[in-house]
Amino acid sequence: MTIPAEMRRKPPPSTLAWVERAVGPGSRVVRVRRLRNAWAAVMHAVDVEGAGARHRLVLRRWARIDIPPEIGAVENEAAVLGLLDGSRVPSPRLVAADARGDLADVPAVLMTRVPGRDTLSPRDLDTMLAGLAETLHLIHAVDVPPGILNYYRPWGLDTVLDPPVWSRRPDVWARAIEIANEPVPAHTRVLCHRDFHPGNVLWRRGRVSGIVDWTAACRGPAAADLAHCRSNLALLFGQSVADNFARRYGVVPDLAWHDIADVVSMGEESPEAWRWHDAGRTDITVDRIIDARDDFLAQAVTRLG
């Protein structure tokens, strides 16, 4: 779904007034700039002066709401950010949330802006893999009280009934679809980011400085996060790098099943949708995406026998 053009422009005065009130009496917005958009939201960096300080914030405004309905997009992210406050996980801090858009013109989350940048072309790949594995362990160690977040459930598997027309390995896909539609393996529930990959990890001075985009977080299997990151690493850097990441994290149950479920859930997506041009990776061609998806799936199917 295309984000409406009007959403990409500077937030309206009413929304900026809500931001100012959230920071505190006498605060005023002094700078607004658009950030790279998330898949269903518009992101703006907002600087606010108030109480003798300059507050560097991020405003996420939702252009569409098609997150699992038990907890809406705003409520879920607000709950996770509150849960992470005080934990060892580097993440934004919640400032305010408007779940219905009564004050911010659309549903919105206001959070602190963590320093750093994502990188999809690291100078030192080993450092990146070590940082990703260490940070994912921190996430999975966070205690999640019952009733705060949704439980894990795979997305989109029921819509993928046949191998995608673009695949060069329809036999592998046919078997993978069968496996993915088996019951989710029994698992211990941990805090799951659900979209953990290099694009959502910020770095500063060679260390992870922040994990962003917590909208879909849930209580679920560690293997789901590991698999999603692995499928992205395989596309960006190759299968051996994805396998290296798994070794650095350590053994988790049923990783092969989750590898399969992660790729199959994206089966209806056109390979063109997974290019990374906006992040400077012009080498990620359609052919490379097809081969990476097919090969990643084939390896997982082979591991299951």
Tokens for 281, please give them: 């990776």
Q: Strand ranges (DSSP E) for the chain?
A: 28-34, 41-50, 53-62, 94-98, 108-112, 190-192, 201-204, 207-211, 218-220
What is the average per-residue pLDDT within 193-200? 95
Q: What is the CATH number of domain 5-112?
A: 3.30.200.20
CATH number of 125-304: 3.90.1200.10
For 260-304, what is each residue's pLDDT tens digit?
Answer: 999 999 887 788 777 665 566 778 888 999 999 999 999 999 999
d(CA 69, CA 78): 15
pTM score of the predicted model: 0.92
Give the per-residue pLDDT at 72.
82
* Closest to 267 in 3D by CA, of 150, 172, 151, 153: 172
The DSSP annotation for 58-104 comes to EEEEES---S-TTS-HHHHHHHHHHHHTTSSS----EEEEESS-TTT
Tell me how many degrees the CA angle 129-224-189 measures, rounded to the nearest 5.
Answer: 115
Domain ranges for the chain: 5-112, 125-304
Residue 36 reports pLDDT greater than 50: yes
Distance CA 232, CA 284 (A): 12
Instruction: Over range 188-208, report the average pLDDT.
Output: 96
